[in-house]
Structure 1
Amino acid sequence: MKRRTFIKSVAGSLSAIALNTPLNAMASGSQEQPKYAPLKLHNLHTGERLAIAYADGTGYNADALAQIAHLLRDRRTKEVHPIDVRVLDFLSSISQQIGTEKEIGIISGYRSPKSNAKLANSSNGVAKRSLHMQGKAIDFRVNEVKLSQLRDIAWQCQSGGVGYYPKDQFIHIDCGRTRFWGWHPS
């Protein structure tokens, strides 16, 4: 399937979801309009880059969300899954604090159940019921920002889970309940 056809297909799916569940409500649990939200992303495994605003102050952009879902696809199976706008809003909050011109290096976005099971069986650092399988988690780093600083900024957002992996040089964020691991907040 050509990329453009694929993006239209995902955008259509996201539009259908939006008709049943307002994206604004999914994003924050309220009826607030999402603020302008640019992201500068680099998939470190595929080399793909994307600079895009997925929200414009009046709503979420289905085409932009489809492009982000494509960039954050499972690199092992090539499966694409919608990325929850709450985790994107979490990432955007971090980006706005460090500077939106800085590129966010994506290590993992969506992870298919097959890929997750394979990783969980070979590593005790992968949750068997990972939120990555629901498009609700992102692992990333920003080369110009100290990892511990990213961790602290993520925790200050109080928007979900924050995992700190200094040995592997990445931060995990998700839109699950607020919690931390791999460190202790001060």
Structure 2
Amino acid sequence: MNEQLLKNTAIDEDSAIASRRKFLKQLACGSLLALGGSEVATAAVRHVIHQGRHNYALPRRTTTQPIQSRIFTRHSQTDSLDISYPAYKTLSFEHAHTGDKLKLTYFEQGRYIKDALQEINYLMRDYHNDDIHPIDTALLDQLFDLKQTLGVTKPFHIVSGYRSPITNAQLRRHSSGVAEHSFHMQGRAIDIQVQGVATKTIKNAAIAMAKGGVGYYPRSGFVHLDTGEIRSW
């Protein structure tokens, strides 16, 4: 009788240890965040594109952009996790030249969402010739931080997104303000406006963030952002 009791006790201890290990493994993977109703676990991919004056069919696209974000930082062997970034990041756009509108979540659960990045690549295409180029995810994060800094929910009006080398060369013939090796040609720059927000206010907020290049064009009514070195003009 005592021998059987000891045997059952040993089995129960083994089960408890296995359950504990399973719990810690799930916690490390972040799966238990769902228990608290966290938006990390429940937030769905939300993106809608409304085409404007150009009725192009949305092509199938692929991107090879690497995952560049890390959402969890481990501090010790006790599986303590620090959430260093927002659970998800959402942006809204409206293209000044095509009329295209887009609202989406492009980052969620520590990952950039491939389909959302493709939608952004298309929206920010060179509208002169429809060339598409991958947009730097660091630029998207810069826009997200700017949105948070300004405390706005209105869309970013895109004056200029990606520019093909041909378009950039053509613009240089008519304006001395277009750089020969513009970051626009690398998908690393954007010129924006925000309805109801002064251009100077946008400029000051962007400079305060110190995330990259900031150009101020009050006469044209837009602010330039890029992921180059921290500088302003």
- TM-score w.r.t. the length of structure 1 is 0.83
Q: Which stretches of structure 1, 4 residues or more, deviate above 6 A after TM superposition?
A: none
Query: Aligned pair count?
Result: 165
Using the alignment, how far apart are the partners of 1:104 and 1:113 within structure 2? 24
Using the alignment, how far apart are the partners of 1:144 and 1:99 within structure 2? 12
**1:89 matched to 2:141:** yes
- Percentage of pairs with the same residue: 38
Of residues 95, 118, 122, the one that matches 1:66 is 118
Q: Which has the higher contact order (CA 8 A, sep 6+)?
A: 1
Which residues of 2 match residues 137-152 of structure 1 at below 5 A? 137-152=189-204
Using the alignment, how far apart are the partners of 1:59 and 1:143 within structure 2? 30
Using the alignment, how far apart are the partners of 1:39 and 1:127 within structure 2? 27
Structure (1 or 2) with the larger CA radius of gyration: 2
Of residues 115, 122, 125, the one that matches 2:177 is 125
Q: Which runs of 5+ in 1 are unaligned?
A: 26-31, 182-186
Of residues 182, 187, 199, the one that matches 1:135 is 187
What is the Cα deviation at residue 110 of structure 1? 0.4
Which residues of 2 match residues 20-31 of structure 1 at below 5 A? 22-24=67-69
Partner of 1:45: 97
Q: Which runs of 5+ in 2 are unaligned?
A: 1-55, 71-82
- TM-score w.r.t. the length of structure 2 is 0.67
Q: Provide Cα deviations, 1:42-98, integer angstroms capped at 9, x if missing partner.
A: 001000100111111421001001101100000101101010001111111111222
Note the aligned Cα RMSD (angstroms): 1.8
What is the Cα deviation at residue 23 of structure 1? 3.0
Q: Provide Cα deviations, 1:94-140, integer angstroms capped at 9, x if missing partner.
A: 11222352111001110000000110121001001000000000000
Give the conservation status (yes or no) of the 8 Å contact 2:69–2:110: no
Secondary structure at the counterpart of residue 112 of structure 2: coil
Partner of 1:177: 229
The one-letter code sitting in structure 2 at the alignment partner of 1:151 is K
What is the Cα deviation at residue 2 of structure 1? 4.0
Partner of 1:184: none
